[in-house]
Amino acid sequence: MPDLFTYGHLTLEYRFRYQDGSYHWIQDSQRLVRSSDSAPDEVIGSWIDVTSRKEAEEAQEKAEGELED
């Protein structure tokens, strides 16, 4: 697993299940901010809903698989 403290940034994707049973994909992006002496100072991050992109990727993979068959 990539290390935030080694590379200074980290991006992961998670799948969450909502109470209605649907799933949503979240992209978690984090960036390490260092102080003037290079010590870790804080982490800034954001979550972005990437469900539409993940569904499009899955549809493309399915279509490519059907073409191969």
Non-local CB neighbours of 48 within 8 Å, separated by 6+ positions: 26, 27, 29
Per-residue pLDDT for the chain (69 aa), expressed as one digit of tens each? 568 989 999 999 999 999 999 999 999 999 999 999 989 999 999 999 999 999 999 999 999 988 887
Domain count, the chain: 1
Instruction: Read off the tokens for 27.
Output: 């992209």
φ, ψ of residue 63 in degrees (nearest 5): -65, -40
| CATH code of the domain in which 27 resides | 2.10.70.100
The parent domain of residue 59 ranges over 4-68
- Model pTM? 0.73
SS3 6: helix
Closest CA to 14 of 1, 3, 24: 24
